[in-house]
Amino acid sequence: RDFSELYGVPALAAVLGYAALVTTAASDANAESITQMAYLVAGVSCVGAIGGLASQDTARLGNALGTIGVATGLAASLGAVDAAEPMLYAQMAGALGVGGAVGVGVAKKVEITSLPQLVAGFHSLVGFAASATSIASLMAEGGMDDLGGVHKGAIYLGAAIGSVTLTGSLVAFGKLQGLIKKDLALPGRDYLNGA
């Protein structure tokens, strides 16, 4: 018997543990540190999930780690929002609702044989979101002068990796869909790839 519904148990435990620690934190600085640790747990869990999904033998562990990572990341993101800003929660709910509805609508129309193209198309949106988030983080801080080294590095890496993910996923979609028939050899492509 498959007990895949139990993957939610460790994720629920992680979210409830985070909530308990944040609500009992002695100060705002402690709560912020707990939120940052939750982000770290979420990131490490998602990376572990990718590794776990690489093999059929460890795929169940990968699913569990992915569930923990996404749930903890969402909880930490919601926990970092100022509770005095109810409009922010409304915006988040609206964006989640619209994005979910569009995603479900598109996914229902796609044939199973076109699933790789769908994944590539949605993955390009992930790259766009990473780049846009990095740019928004830079704009929210008012420029690079006031940022620490870690924040600058995160902005740079988020924008660079997001841009590569966006363009690479669009190329993959085009090739899988048959829109790109042959290799594109740009002049100076080695220098462009190096940059």
Full pLDDT tens readout for the chain, 195 residues: 777 778 788 889 989 999 999 888 888 888 888 888 999 999 899 888 888 888 888 888 888 888 899 999 999 988 888 777 888 888 989 998 999 999 899 989 989 888 899 989 998 999 999 999 989 988 887 777 777 777 788 888 889 999 999 999 999 999 999 998 877 777 777 777 776
CA pair distance 167, 151, nearest whole angstrom: 24
Instruction: Single out the residue of 43, 38, 31 nearest to residue 13, CA to CA.
Output: 38
- Structure-token pair, residue 3: 């007990």
Report helix, strand and coil shares of the chain as percent, to nearest 5. Answer: 80, 0, 20
DSSP state of 142: T
Global pTM? Answer: 0.66
Token digits of residue 67: 């569930």
- Residue whose C-alpha is closest to residue 170's, from 102, 133, 122: 122
Residue 70: what residue type?
Answer: V
Q: What angle, rounded to 10 degrees, do the helices at 28-52 and 59-80 form?
A: 160
Tell me how far apart the alpha carbons of residues 43 and 126 are, in angstroms, rounded to a whole number.
Answer: 15
pLDDT for 170 = 93
| SS3 at position 128 | helix
Q: What is the pLDDT of residue 139?
A: 85
**Nearest Cα to 38, choosing from 7, 17, 61, 52?**
17
Domain definitions of the chain by residue range: 1-80, 111-185
CA distance 123 to 120: 5
175: enclosing H helix or E strand: helix 149-177
Would you state the pLDDT for residue 195?
A: 66
